Structure 1
């Protein structure tokens, strides 16, 4: 996975120490209720589209950018799903990250789903009953997106 230049610059100063970063999770649902997933090139697992926000980037714009970069699908962010601080994670190179994950429900408006960068090896639409296992925070975002219009979820809210 390409590391954003601003993270490379910060890592030059702090090494592998924990770094707080903001990221987005995009739940893209089409008119048939299918969800867009990517098979990650780093783990081989299926996942929702995720990514790191650039400095000063608005979260909804970051979600739109990440979906297009990874899948070639142009989306519109419809609503906020969740805001969650994830557990400390460690990348294969030893970098530690405290992610603040911001989830959005999105709908496709243009484009055809395809592998569009080196972050994924496969892209596909999945019916609700055929979604492979997802990390807990991503499964929660998917459930919130499918539940319709409700309040955003955050730790301690429900």
Structure 2
């Protein structure tokens, strides 16, 4: 995952101390009800597309930007499905973050699913009952929640 310039600037001032970050991802469905996933280049796991928001960026727009950047798919964001506060994470270089991720339900409206940047090894559509084994539990939960049809935002702490 490429580190945004604003994070690099902050790190120049605060070093590797714990930094709270805000991210957005999307459970993107195609016309057949399949879920869009990307195979991450950093760990090989299949996951929902998403990433960090830019300062001042509207979260739904940020989710749409991240999906397009990573997968080549244009989306229409329908609603905020869930919000997850992760555990503190330490990168190999010593930098620490704790991420709050907003997960949106969305529909594919254009583009073509493909590897569109260096963050993914592969991109594909999967039936919700046939997800790759490496999809993390918290992403499975987000998918299940988005597919439930319940528009009440769900909050979960990892």
Coarse TM-score class (shorter-chain normalised): over 0.9
> Shift of residue 10 of structure 1?
0.5
Taking the TM superposition and a 5 Å limit, the aligned residue runs for 1:118-133 are: 118-133=118-133
Query: Which runs of 5 or more structure 1 residues have no equivalent in the other structure?
Result: none
Runs of 4+ in 1 over 6 A off after TM superposition: none
Match of 1:144 in 2: 145
| Partner SS, residue 142 of structure 1 | helix
| Partner SS, residue 28 of structure 1 | strand
The 8 Å contact of residues 114 and 124 in structure 1, kept in 2 or not, is answered as yes
Structure 1 Cα separation of the partners of residues 81 and 54 of structure 2: 20
Please list the CA deviations of residues 26-71 of structure 1 after superposition, one character each: whole Å capped at 9, or x if unmatched: 1101121100000001111100012000000010000000000000
- Larger displacement relative to structure 2 (133-142 or 12-21): 133-142
> Shift of residue 93 of structure 1?
2.1
> Shift of residue 150 of structure 1?
2.9
Please list the CA deviations of residues 109-143 of structure 1 after superposition, one character each: whole Å capped at 9, or x if unmatched: 00000000000010000112210242232111100
Structure 2 Cα separation of the partners of residues 107 and 152 of structure 1: 18
> Shift of residue 145 of structure 1?
1.1
| Partner SS, residue 22 of structure 1 | strand
Structure 2 Cα separation of the partners of residues 140 and 110 of structure 1: 26
- Larger displacement relative to structure 2 (37-46 or 137-146): 137-146
Aligned residues: 156
Query: Which runs of 5 or more structure 2 residues have no equivalent in the other structure?
Result: none
TM-score for the superposition, normalised by structure 1: 0.94
Taking the TM superposition and a 5 Å limit, the aligned residue runs for 1:1-12 are: 1-12=1-12
| Partner SS, residue 12 of structure 2 | helix
Match of 2:15 in 1: 15
